Amino acid sequence: MQNIFRYSMKAIIIKDGKLLVESCDYGRGRFSKLPGGGHQWGETMHQAIIRECREELCLDVVPKRLVLVRDYIAKNHNTIIDDDNFHQAELMFECDVADFSKMGCGIEPDSDSQQILWIDLEDLEQSDFMPKAIIPYLKNLENITETIVMGDVN
């Protein structure tokens, strides 16, 4: 089995104390995650997150700052998501959205994306949101002054 490595850009979109997430099912169980996806050849990181949010959410985002970076090495986690040969570096950007009126299923949603949800930040620990390790940072976003590199966490 071939090893797979990729970069993934994720959008942190918070409005009125709620986090915008995608609810997904990869065939092994449902969970919620930050919207975003794979970085394509020739794109800047900002172009990738803008494209992903347009495709998946029908939202035009403005990336503000890189907040969190995490490695996800599947073989190190008991996970419902990926095979052991999968390794992804996730770059999570705080994003602004001026207009939520067109939000919905995007023009090219991921086949595993089931719905778009808002989860209250105070309810994240009890929800099916993944990765759990980033929840404290999401709840304290306004106090983060520099990018946090988290390593291989889930």
Single-letter code of the amino acid located at 117:
L
% residues pLDDT > 90 (the chain): 69
* CATH for 127: 3.90.79.10
**Average pLDDT for residues 55-69, to the nearest whole number?**
95
pLDDT for 106 equals 53
Nearest to 6 by CA among 71, 77, 54: 71
SS3 percent helix, strand, coil of the chain, rounded to 5, is 20, 40, 40
Number of domains making up the chain = 1
Q: pLDDT category, 104, cuts 50, 70, 90?
A: confident
pLDDT mean across residues, the chain: 89
In angstroms, rounded to a whole number, what is the distance separating the alpha carbons of residues 3 and 125? 31
- Render pLDDT for 73-102 as a digit per residue (tens, 0 to 9): 888 877 655 677 888 999 999 999 999 998
Mean pLDDT confidence for 109-124: 80
The reported pLDDT for the residue numbered 125 is 95
Nearest to 131 by CA among 12, 3, 5: 12
Predicted local distance difference test score (pLDDT) of residue 107: 52
**Domain membership of residue 68 as a residue range:** 4-152
**86 or 132, which is more confident:** 132
